[in-house]
Amino acid sequence: MSAVTAARPSAGRWTALGAGGTVALAFVVVLAAAVAVPWLLAPVSPLAVSPADGFAPPSPAHPFGADESGRDVLVRIVHGARSSVGIGLAATALGAGLGLVIGFASGLGPRWLDSALGRVIEVLFALPTLVLALLLVAVLGSGTGPSVLAIGLATAPGYARILRSRVRTVARGDYVAYARLEGVGRARVLLRHIVPNTLWPLVATATLGIGQAVVWVAALSFLGLGQEPPSPEWGAMLGAGRVYISTAWWMTVFPGLAIVSTATALTVLGRRLSGATA
Amino acid sequence: MSEVERVPDERAAALEVRGLRVALPGAGEVLRGIDLSLSPGECLGIVGESGAGKSVLARTLLGLAQDDSSARVTGDALRVAGTDLLAAGRRARRRMRGRDIGLVLQDALQSLDPLRTIGAEVSESLAVRGVARRDRRRMVLDALEAAGLPGGETLLGKRSGELSGGMRQRALIASAIVGAPAVLIADEPTTALDATTAVHVLDLLGELRDRGTALILISHDLNAVARVADRVAVLDAGRVVEQAPTSRLLESPAHPTTRALLAAVPRGPKPATGPSAPSGSSASAPASPEFFLAAQGVTRSYDGVAAVDDASVEVRSGEVLGVVGESGSGKSTLARLLIGAESPDRGDVETSSPAPRVRLLPQDPLASFDPRHRVGRILALSRRDGAPSEEELLAQVGLDASLLARRPATLSGGQRQRVAIARALAGVPDLLVCDEPVSALDVTTQAGVLELLTRLQRERGLGMLFISHDLAVVRQISDRVAVMRDGRIVEQGGTERVYAQPQHPFTAELIAAGTPGPGATRRS
Amino acid sequence: MLPAARWIAARIGRAVLVVWLVATIVFFALRSSGDPLEAILGGPGSQAGPDAVAAARETYGLDAPLAWQYLVQLWRIATLQLGDSYARRQPVEELIAAQLPGTLLLAVLALALAWVLAVAGATIAASSRGRAGRAVNAVIGGTEIVSTVMPQFWLGAVLILVFASTMRWLPATSQPGDTAGLVLPVITLAVPIAGFLAQVSRDALTEADAAPFALTSRARGAGETRVFLRHTLRHAALPALALSGWAFGNLLSGAVVVEVLFARPGLGRLLQEGALARDVPLVIGVVTVVAVLYVAVIIVSDALELAVDPRLRRAKRQSLAVPETAVGS
């Protein structure tokens, strides 16, 4: 080849955020606040009933309107972040954690283990995620714990797949081979090269994954299999408000917007991260 | 814009360019006043390093650069096969392509649509002009035959991936000449080919020229250009710095750029400066113990095919063994067997005792660097006791200490290769295995790295295994050479002896492929 | 054996393995979740006499050892007898057969619509050039991201709100056979898939357009239309084709939500009710059918890919193509 490989401009780790990424990051920060300290952002109880305000449309008193029992929708959304995002976070931690273990075992272990795990992962992946989650819910029941378990276990095959592929690529890569050639011990190669090159991309993927998990958690509640009313979880709010959609649209639209915005922000952030850490 | 009429006079220049300037968005002025002319039956070679503007020139001659509305193309004259490209509108320029001018790019695997059949690809320029299907088939077969593929019918239904490298490139050429264009531009047509195949393709281009096509041959490879071109133009930073008949340019270059280019081309035997003689005796480097690494009759197969077949070579301290062969000949596998990355199915790899410290210069240095590490860390991790500091290591390979804070992905190809050398040196090696270390570099960069390697090897009395497909490069650096083909070593011995008196026909073929005379294929 | 026959046999073999593993997991999972008798006798808290209990136990074969029950279940699945639903006292095959066509219709229509939207989006993005082109590309790119994360239950609700409640153009709920009622559910299902397919198509299109073979084609005098239709479009469709298998799985997931939202009878709603009632045979049956469907679609899309891109015949591809940004379907 005649061409000299062109030098790329120096790419710092965090400079790739861009306009979209910054907005997404800001949103996620607000979200994190809502999860951690909702009472600071909305010092009213999300369960406080106020029949006089039943079905109040959006107004200065109730920016997002009120539901059938007069509870302020915005307040409920802020407090609901803890359920929606919290469960999504927990489920992602479970799924990614399991995926990590399986991925490493598969990518670094003996070949028979890799083959066996690979087959199992493919099989589990043969079921669409929500279907698998519903199956698990049928076993475990509904509620917070089962939701975390169901979504976590249902997404674990996906993470395992990604991690297995990544670990194998890195472990078979040239820089690992070179280090081994230099006589560097296996443990040191693992810590020095394999783990950092696998873990950081996982952070990016998991960020994306939290967004998707939030959607699935809400889906479970919507189907009546997750959180039940009067929980301010966003999916449950959507499920409850569906009946009144023609008369009180704000009960459905705003919780849904919360879900969409969260998922979008996390996806954008996850992509920027993967661009910076890949 | 009205279409300019084609000039019917055959003795008129096929191509005339005067004062051509091209400015592209984001790149500024890429061509700064080019003057060229070409007659039918003549071949003009255009050489220059990457970034000189060769590809932009090709696109402008095809009328493609003008299609980008933010590009500015100006000049006194730009006439290709009768069409005035400065005056012609988009439609007129498009009509000219395929009919009056054809393009041949490098690597037919990428340049032919892999999803379409050969028949479809070769006939495209005819289909575009509405030539009837019956006529198309006949013209396609004729073009394939003219390109050296007489059994055309069997190829029509195949796809490019099913053909060998040489056949693919010929099919690509056929697709460019099927419309019998007056002008043909070949942009690096042989870069992706083995030396022996490349020669045949160049000869084919010479034939086309002899039959009356005006040929422009763009290449970084001066040998290729010397084989086919009547005149050569040297392009540097968007300007033609020298233009002369081929023999005069090669023998007495006038411009410093040309001279630098020619000086960088590897030619001739290993320079004998310094105490070691080029005939294979051990080095007289001070007090270095004799290390060696030897493969004895090693065989390694993958999927039933022997990548290396009963090969025996020895790498010794103070001596450079070159391994030369075409792609797929097993050179890299042999290297991996020697360094212990693979175990042979048969045969042994022996080492001296104490065992030598072996380091590798890989083919793709970027892939062998941890993408998360900076140069400083890479060097620090590879240091062994007795190695100099990171700054010193960089200095030894001619790099500035400021590179320690950079990531390898931000360095140029030549810099990366030097960092790879520094890393190898950090291990205080006794033997160095170099796998195609300069193949991806520009000619001038390549010369610099080769010079560095030779000097380091001499100063430290290192033993070296140097793998390359380029015989001229191997000749420059090796004391002994082994020629590989299909996994077997067909010949081995002192470099100059093998070069002067090759015993094996394949060796002779390789040598012939690498040495052109100017206009060597010209029929008088 | 012919290579084609061998490929099909291998694929079917793997499909059987998948279904078997799924059925096993489902069986043990559901059995471990509590006494099925509860579900059969009408849910927790029902007061059934010992005679009813004994009779139920015998009818459903629950007095046999667990391993035997498992083998019986497998045999039943293999012979397509899926048992009787606990809650509804009907044969599961009948229930599934009744609901399958409706869901399939939805899924197929949605996949088709997603493809159309994806190709349209990619084409528009590719044919806009210059500064306006960059803006168009940015907008389409943003739309893609949002559509891929859009929860279907929300999109559907918004569509109902706008088109059914407010403008009254289309009905909010529908029955099979009702064409107008198909529109909103199909759109709701198709949008997220369209987003993913559009993303990969657009990337592939841009890459193909800059590839050497496109330059060669232009150098032969081909105009932009020809280059697009005969060269780059085919290359752009490849990754979308590869993803269609995964996309179908996503559609089946989405069908659960969409059918509930639009109150359409179908496999998804059946699954949801079965999960709520802990109806073991029904859930096993539905999940097995879903697995079979999914695997069948993957086989078809693999075959199509091989037909379009002969390069793949030489490579050994094992795993399913999945968008990089998806951890599930």
Inter-CA distances, C226 with B344, C121, C125, C214, C220, Å = 52, 19, 17, 10, 11
φ and ψ at residue B157, rounded to 5 degrees? -90, -5
Kindly state whether C258 is in contact with chain A, defined as any CB-CB distance less than 8 angstroms: no
We report the CATH number of the domain holding residue C233 as: 1.10.3720.10
To the nearest whole number, what is the mean pLDDT of chain C?
A: 79
For residue B113, the chain C residue with the least C-alpha distance is: C213
Which range of A136-150, C88-102, C179-193, C275-289 scores highest in mean pLDDT? It is: C179-193
Kindly state whether C295 is in contact with chain A, defined as any CB-CB distance less than 8 angstroms: yes
φ and ψ at residue B285, rounded to 5 degrees? -60, 140
Name the residue facing B113 among C219, C221, C231 (closest C-beta).
Answer: C231
| Contact state of B98 with C314 under an 8 Å Cβ cutoff | no
The reply to whether C159 falls in a domain is yes
Kindly state whether C125 is in contact with chain A, defined as any CB-CB distance less than 8 angstroms: no
pLDDT at C176 over 80: no
The mean pLDDT value for C301-313 works out to: 78
Contacts of A193 (CB under 8 A, 6+ apart): A170, A175, A176, A179, B370
ipTM: 0.84
Inter-CA distances, A160 with A117, A169, A200, A205, Å = 9, 14, 15, 12
Complete DSSP assignment for A157-172 = HHHHHHHHHHHHHHHT
3-state class (DSSP) for residue B485: strand
In which residue ranges of chain B is pLDDT below 50?
1-10, 275-287, 518-524
| Contact state of C261 with A242 under an 8 Å Cβ cutoff | yes
Contacts of B414 (CB under 8 A, 6+ apart): A4, B441, B442, B445, B448, B449
Neighbours of chain B (3+ CB pairs under 8 A): A, C
Inter-CA distances, C4 with C8, C59, C102, Å = 6, 46, 33
Name the residue facing B159 among C130, C235, C310 (closest C-beta).
Answer: C310
C235 chain-B contacts, CB cut-off 8 A: 115
| Sign of the torsion angle spanned by Cα atoms A57, A58, A59, A60 | positive
pLDDT at C1 over 50: no
| Contact state of B368 with A175 under an 8 Å Cβ cutoff | yes
Asked if residues B201 and B169 have their Cβ atoms less than 8 Å apart, the reply is yes
| Contact state of A212 with C252 under an 8 Å Cβ cutoff | no
Inter-CA distances, A228 with A147, A258, B273, C85, Å = 12, 18, 87, 26
Instruction: Domain B292-357+429-514: give its CATH architecture.
Output: 3-Layer(aba) Sandwich (3.40)
CA B514, CA B222: separation in Å to the nearest integer? 11
C223 chain-B contacts, CB cut-off 8 A: 94, 128
Tell me the domain boundaries of chain B: 292-357+429-514
Beta bridge partners of B492: B482
B177 exposure class (CB count in 10 Å sphere: 0-12, 13-18, 19+): buried
Predicted pLDDT of residue A152: 93
Kindly state whether C234 is in contact with chain B, defined as any CB-CB distance less than 8 angstroms: yes
CA B457, CA B455: separation in Å to the nearest integer? 5
Kindly state whether A52 is in contact with chain B, defined as any CB-CB distance less than 8 angstroms: no
CA A24, CA B140: separation in Å to the nearest integer? 57
B110 chain-C contacts, CB cut-off 8 A: 211-213
pLDDT at C38 over 60: no
Kindly state whether C292 is in contact with chain A, defined as any CB-CB distance less than 8 angstroms: no
Per-residue tokens: C124: 């528009």
Name the residue facing A130 among C22, C256, C322 (closest C-beta).
Answer: C256
CA B228, CA B246: separation in Å to the nearest integer? 9
Higher pLDDT: C324 or B286? It is: C324
Q: Note down pLDDT in tens along chain A; length 278 residues.
A: 222 223 333 344 455 567 778 888 899 998 998 888 888 888 878 787 877 777 888 888 788 888 888 888 888 898 899 889 999 999 999 999 999 999 999 888 888 898 888 878 877 777 788 888 887 887 777 788 888 998 999 899 889 988 988 998 898 888 998 998 888 898 999 999 999 999 888 988 899 899 999 999 999 998 888 888 788 899 888 888 888 887 888 888 899 999 999 998 998 888 888 776 54
CA B380, CA A192: separation in Å to the nearest integer? 13
Asked if residues C175 and C181 have their Cβ atoms less than 8 Å apart, the reply is yes
Residue with token string 């293999």: C78
Neighbours of chain A (3+ CB pairs under 8 A): B, C
Q: Supply the range of the domain harboring residue C197.
A: 95-328
Q: Tell me chain A's radius of gyration from C-alpha atoms.
A: 22
The reply to whether C80 falls in a domain is no
Residue with token string 């976070």: A89
pLDDT at C232 over 70: yes
Beta bridge partners of B37: B16
The reply to whether C116 falls in a domain is yes
φ and ψ at residue C249, rounded to 5 degrees? -60, -45
CA B27, CA B20: separation in Å to the nearest integer? 16
For residue B218, the chain A residue with the least C-alpha distance is: A2
A 166-185 near B (Cβ less than 8 A): 173-175, 177-179, 181-182
B409 chain-A contacts, CB cut-off 8 A: 8, 11
pLDDT at C296 over 80: yes
CA A137, CA A131: separation in Å to the nearest integer? 10
3-state class (DSSP) for residue C196: helix
CA A9, CA A29: separation in Å to the nearest integer? 30
Per residue, the 3-state secondary structure of B308-324, as one string, reads EEEEEEEEECCCEEEEE
The mean pLDDT value for C125-152 works out to: 81
**pTM for the complete prediction?**
0.81
B115 chain-C contacts, CB cut-off 8 A: 231, 234-235, 308-310
H helices within chain C, ranges in order?
3-31, 36-40, 50-59, 66-78, 92-127, 130-149, 152-159, 180-209, 212-219, 224-227, 233-261, 267-277, 280-308
Beta bridge partners of B299: B346
C252 chain-A contacts, CB cut-off 8 A: 128, 131
CA C65, CA C31: separation in Å to the nearest integer? 12
pLDDT band at C313 (very low <50, low <70, confident <90, very high): low
pLDDT at C42 over 60: no
Count: domains in chain C: 1
Residue of A124, A134, A166 best to disrupt the C interface, most CBs of C under 10 A: A134
| Contact state of C157 with A161 under an 8 Å Cβ cutoff | no
Asked if residues A188 and A163 have their Cβ atoms less than 8 Å apart, the reply is no
Predicted pLDDT of residue B171: 94
| Sign of the torsion angle spanned by Cα atoms C253, C257, C258, C259 | positive
The reply to whether C14 falls in a domain is no
Please give, rounded to a whole number of angstroms, the shortest distance from the CA of C80 to a CA of chain A.
20
| Contact state of C157 with A127 under an 8 Å Cβ cutoff | no
Predicted pLDDT of residue C316: 54
Domains and CATH numbers, chain A: 17-42+64-276 (1.10.3720.10)
Kindly state whether B382 is in contact with chain A, defined as any CB-CB distance less than 8 angstroms: yes
| Contact state of A1 with B360 under an 8 Å Cβ cutoff | no
Name the residue facing C260 among A95, A223, A271 (closest C-beta).
Answer: A223
Name the residue facing C295 among A126, A222, A225 (closest C-beta).
Answer: A126
pLDDT at C95 over 90: no
A267 chain-C contacts, CB cut-off 8 A: 145, 148-149, 325
Per-residue tokens: C228: 């697009």
